[in-house]
Amino acid sequence: MYYINNQRFEEIIPLYLQYPEEYEEELMNLFDLLITNIIESFKFSIDQDDAKQECFLLILKTLKNFQPSKGSAFNYFTTVIVNNLKLLYTKNKKYAKKIMEYTEIITDYKPRVS
């Protein structure tokens, strides 16, 4: 597992917001590493590629809300990512349960014979 330098992470965020073309690759690599580490650490049973895409979308929406005075970037974005992954996991689990219940109903169905 690789680690993120929080100081550099916090330096890149405002730079990215000002000059996205110059800092996009470095920042996205840091987020990719963070998302991957979280998925592997928590052992979420979800499609990793889909989860990463969902997390990246949420990160891009919440990036401008990050305020270093309220806590570290690492903690802030870890919380955002973990909460999103929990939501995805729960949603997938509920969906799988509904499919299983529906399959059982169909399997148990016996048409009436007149």
The predicted model gives 25-41 an average pLDDT of 92
Nearest-5° Cα angle at 65, 62 to 70: 125
pLDDT for residue 56: 95
b/e sequence 62-77, b meaning 16+ C-beta within 10 Å:
ebeebeeeeeebbebb
pLDDT for residue 1: 52
Q: Which CATH architecture has domain 6-108?
A: Orthogonal Bundle (1.10)
Look up the pTM and report it: 0.75
Position 97 confidence tier, pLDDT thresholds 50, 70, 90: confident
Position 32 confidence tier, pLDDT thresholds 50, 70, 90: very high
Domains in the chain: boundaries: 6-108
The predicted model gives 17-26 an average pLDDT of 95
pLDDT for residue 112: 73
Q: Which of the pair, 46 or 38, is modelled with greater confidence?
A: 38
CB 77 within 8 A of CB 114: no
pLDDT for residue 2: 66
Share of the chain above pLDDT 70, in %: 91
